[in-house]
């Protein structure tokens, strides 16, 4: 018998419970990357990445775009979901079928059957970009989970508690990893540490994160 087959690799197990209702599914999206990347390119052709401004007047270091009925936007007036891309005046591009299937299947695999996302926020991090600790609370209904898909170069995700000052767990996220957050974990503080310099064979010097939400 080849004992190496049973040796955990440097990364660790496939399924990790990060909280009572937060599950990391390592590599879960890998078999679907070939379908996701052309769909992503089609979204970007209609709604290119752009850097938004925070209500405090800072430029976000991650660039973003959206697909689906609703898109998350930020400007000097605040954060909100809109039906139209403020840059083009057009509706956000429709959610591609492979995006929707991935989000629904991953939610179900983590115990959230019936997830119907109407918004997909696409974040792009170049080396050095980060996202400071925050809560996601612009959605109408916190009972639906959030599904996050990491593509490209690795990042360290910060998973905090229900208060900003609570200590945060550091979770390395790699190409193909999927995380599903719901229930009591839905409003936990979270962020992304500044990305290290790296290059990914498929995405170059970038991390792209798809975040699916039921926003409306
Ligand atoms: C944990 N994006 O866009 S997605 C965001 O990697 C955002 O781009 C990060 O946080 C990124 O708002 C993380 C994962 C995520 C999304 C929502 C959460 C994690 C969450 C809500 C509660 C707890
Ligand atoms: Fe967030």
Both structure tokens of 84:
């139209």
Domains (ranges, CATH) in the chain? 16-52+59-213 (2.60.120.590)
Provide, rounded to the nearest whole percent, the portion of the chain with pLDDT above 70: 94
Q: Is the pLDDT of residue 19 over 60?
A: yes
SS3 212: strand
Summarize the confidence of residues 118-125 as an average pLDDT.
98
Residues of each annotated binding site for Fe cation: 134, 136, 190
Alpha helix ranges (H) inside 15-163? 33-46, 97-109
Residues of each annotated binding site: 134, 136, 190
Measured from CB, residues less than 6 Å from any atom of ligand 1 are 121, 123, 131, 136, 146, 148, 179, 181, 185-186, 188, 190, 192, 209, 211
Neighbours of 57 (CB within 10 A): 7
Q: Kindly report the average pLDDT of the chain as a whole number.
A: 94
Cβ 73 vs Cβ 86: under 8 Å: yes
**For residue 154, which ligand has an atom nearest its CA?**
1
How far apart are the CA of 66 and the centre of ligand 2, in A?
Answer: 14
Cβ 186 vs Cβ 211: under 8 Å: no
The per-residue pLDDT for range 85-106, each reduced to its tens digit, is: 999 999 999 999 999 999 999 9
34 forms bridges with which residues in the sheet? Answer: none
Q: Is the pLDDT of residue 138 over 80?
A: yes
Q: Is the pLDDT of residue 10 over 90?
A: no
How far apart are the CA of 60 and the centre of ligand 1, in A?
Answer: 15
pTM for this predicted structure: 0.94
pLDDT, residue 5, reads 47
pLDDT, residue 4, reads 44
Helix 33-46 / helix 97-109 crossing angle, nearest 10 deg: 130
pLDDT, residue 141, reads 85
**For residue 213, which ligand has an atom nearest its CA?**
1
Q: Is the pLDDT of residue 11 over 90?
A: no
């Amino acid at each position: 018998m080849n004992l190496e087959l049973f040796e955990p690799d440097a990364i660790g197990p496939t399924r990790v419970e990060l909280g009572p209702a937060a599950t990391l599914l390592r590599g879960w999206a890998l078999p679907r990357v070939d379908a996701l990347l052309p769909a992503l390119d089609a979204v970007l052709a209609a709604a290119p990445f752009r850097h938004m401004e925070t209500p405090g007047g800072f430029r976000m270091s991650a660039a973003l775009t959206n697909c689906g009925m609703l898109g998350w936007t930020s400007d000097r007036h605040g954060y909100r979901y809109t039906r139209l891309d403020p840059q083009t005046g057009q509706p956000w591009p429709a959610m591609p079928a492979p995006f929707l299937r991935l989000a629904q299947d991953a939610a179900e695999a983590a115990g959230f059957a019936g997830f119907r996302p109407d918004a997909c926020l696409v974040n792009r991090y170049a080396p050095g970009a980060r996202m400071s600790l925050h809560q996601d609370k612009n959605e109408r209904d916190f009972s639906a989970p959030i599904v996050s898909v990491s593509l490209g170069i690795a990042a360290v995700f910060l998973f905090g508690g229900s208060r900003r000052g609570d200590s945060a767990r550091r979770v390395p996220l790699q190409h193909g990893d999927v995380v599903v957050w719901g229930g009591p974990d839905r409003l936990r503080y979270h962020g992304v540490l500044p990305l290290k310099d790296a290059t990914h064979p498929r995405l170059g010097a970038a991390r792209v994160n798809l975040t699916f939400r039921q926003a409306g």
